[in-house]
Amino acid sequence: MGGARYFKQDLSPYCKRLKETVALYQNFKPESEFHPNWGIERVLEVLKECGETVEISKNTEGVTVTVQIPNLTSDKGSVVFALYNKETFMKEPLQGVEGKITNKATEVKFENVIPGEYSIICYHDSNENKKLDFSTSGIPSEDWGMSNNPILMGPPSFNSSKFIVENKSVDLTIKF
């Protein structure tokens, strides 16, 4: 931002991005007492320079995201769900949940999700081997889906599946 300010460029894209990082600080939990947990003070200070004021509370509890799949092809196995943000998409999920299948449907809940943008990917682990199986041509041989139910010709993307969590619970339906 210092360079942009020096060259008299518009700071609003930088300010917007900084405002989005506040949610990351609210969700951050250090792995141990020796891991760093600082930085939010500087973000809030720079946001004041942007004319923005944001309050942060490390004790803020998030909301519940409920996900339903109404159209499974069988009651075998389970459905594995992963919640991602943009930074963790297709890498390490923020939360993982396994749903039991009853009458070819399942429902799971992601608890304590803080406001922000997220994506959910899930698959029907019908043979219970804890992984999504693929055919020899590289196409998934087990049913799978993602938030927003995009029609894809290729690998999943965060932007096509993202949804927004605000300060109220979210209900999603994913169809296979």
For 81-92, the pLDDT digits (tens) are 999 999 999 999
CA distances from 123 to 20, 127, 169 (A): 29, 11, 23
Whether residue 79 sits in one domain with residue 45: no
The pLDDT of residue 44 is above 90: no
pTM above 0.85, yes or no: no
> 102-127: buried (b, 16+ CB within 10 Å) or exposed (e) per residue?
eeeebebebeebbbbebbbbbbbbbe
- 7-11, 55-59, 85-89: the lowest-pLDDT one: 55-59
Give 59's pLDDT tier (boundaries 50, 70, 90): very low
Whether residue 131 sits in one domain with residue 104: yes
Tokens for 133? 């199986």
Task: Tell whether 151 is covered by a domain.
Answer: yes
Portion of the chain with pLDDT greater than 90, in percent: 54
Q: Domain of 73: which CATH number?
A: 2.60.40
Q: What pLDDT does residue 31 have? A: 72
Closest CA to 107 of 66, 165, 74: 66
Task: Tell whether 56 is covered by a domain.
Answer: no
What's the rounded mean pLDDT across residues 49-71? 77
Q: What is the pLDDT of residues 104-135, one digit of tens each?
A: 999 999 998 988 899 999 999 999 999 999 99
Give 8's pLDDT tier (boundaries 50, 70, 90): confident
CB under 8 Å to 112, separation ≥6 — which residues?
A: 61, 62, 63, 64
Q: What pLDDT does residue 26 have? A: 64
Whether residue 102 sits in one domain with residue 127: yes
Q: What is the mean pLDDT of the chain?
A: 87
Q: What pLDDT does residue 15 have? A: 84
Task: Tell whether 116 is covered by a domain.
Answer: yes
Looking at residue 45, what DSSP letter applies? H
Q: Domain range spanning residue 139? A: 63-173
Whether residue 31 sits in one domain with residue 87: no
Which of the pair, 105 or 21, is modelled with greater confidence? 105
Residues 124 and 142: beta-carbon distance below 8 Å: yes
Beta-strand relationship, 170-173 and 63-69: parallel
Residues 40 and 25: beta-carbon distance below 8 Å: yes
Whether residue 72 sits in one domain with residue 18: no
- Maximal CA-CA distance, the chain: 62
